[in-house]
């Protein structure tokens, strides 16, 4: 049985990652077509043995209920399609200035179904309901699918920056309605 959702959409529940999700997490994050877009130095998971520590790290990052790296579970099948994130953005030195990032990482079998837009839209709504006035998205140059999600969400392009994560990204901004 899955965990209690933190928030839901029409088709998805966002919930804490569980160790029982390890197989799906590995199947998602071991794929270069997913990992290549993530972080300052993209790296796919190399072994299922890495997953328990990764899930534990995601759960710790989700301790403050306003923020997290959450599993996205389909309501109709219970399959985890990937992650949605709402987390503080680190500057190049690893600190932050209170800026928050929305993001999504989906298994390739879940691409093209609107799940990223649906989940990220709900994460934005949650962040704004929790008092945020601005939420950023950072997209690795060339990730046209994620840039399109940002545009569908009504996020405004802010240009290219290396301000966060110590790498170059295209920045987008959503402001509270």
Q: Is the dihedral of CA 83, 169, 176, 67 positive or negative?
A: positive
Give the Cα separation of 69 and 55 in Å (integer): 9
Domains of the chain plus CATH, in order, are 7-175 (3.40.630.30)
- Which residues are 7's β-sheet partners? 14
Cα–Cα dist 108/110, whole Å: 5
Report the C-alpha gap between 58 and 53 in whole angstroms: 9
CA distance 6 to 16: 8
- pLDDT tens-digit readout, 96-136: 678 999 999 999 999 999 999 999 999 999 999 999 999 99
Residue 37 clears pLDDT 70, i.e. is over it: yes
* Strand 100-106 with 80-88, pairing: antiparallel
The share of the chain scoring above pLDDT 90, in percent, equals 84
Helices (H), 15-84: 22-29, 32-35, 51-61
pLDDT digits (tens, 9 = 90+) for 137-156: 999 999 999 999 999 999 99
Q: What is the pTM of this model?
A: 0.93
pLDDT digits (tens, 9 = 90+) for 65-86: 999 999 999 999 999 999 999 9
Is the Cβ–Cβ distance between 42 and 36 less than 8 Å?
Answer: yes
């Amino acid at each position: 049985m899955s965990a209690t959702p933190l928030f839901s959409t029409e088709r998805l529940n966002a919930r804490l990652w569980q160790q029982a999700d390890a197989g799906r997490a590995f199947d998602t994050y071991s794929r270069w077509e997913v990992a290549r877009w993530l972080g300052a130095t993209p790296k796919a998971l190399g072994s299922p043995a890495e997953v328990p520590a990764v899930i534990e790290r995601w759960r710790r990052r989700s301790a403050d209920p306003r923020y997290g790296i959450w599993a996205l579970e389909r309501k109709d099948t219970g399959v985890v399609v990937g992650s949605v994130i709402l987390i503080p953005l680190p500057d190049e030195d690893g600190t932050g200035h209170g800026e928050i990032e929305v993001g999504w990482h989906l298994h390739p079998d879940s691409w093209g179904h609107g799940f990223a837009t649906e989940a990220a839209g709900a994460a934005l709504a949650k962040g704004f309901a929790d008092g945020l006035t601005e939420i950023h998205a950072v997209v690795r140059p060339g990730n046209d699918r994620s840039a399109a999600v940002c545009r569908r969400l009504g996020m405004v392009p802010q240009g290219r920056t290396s301000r966060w994560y110590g790498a170059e990204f295209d920045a987008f901004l959503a402001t509270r309605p």
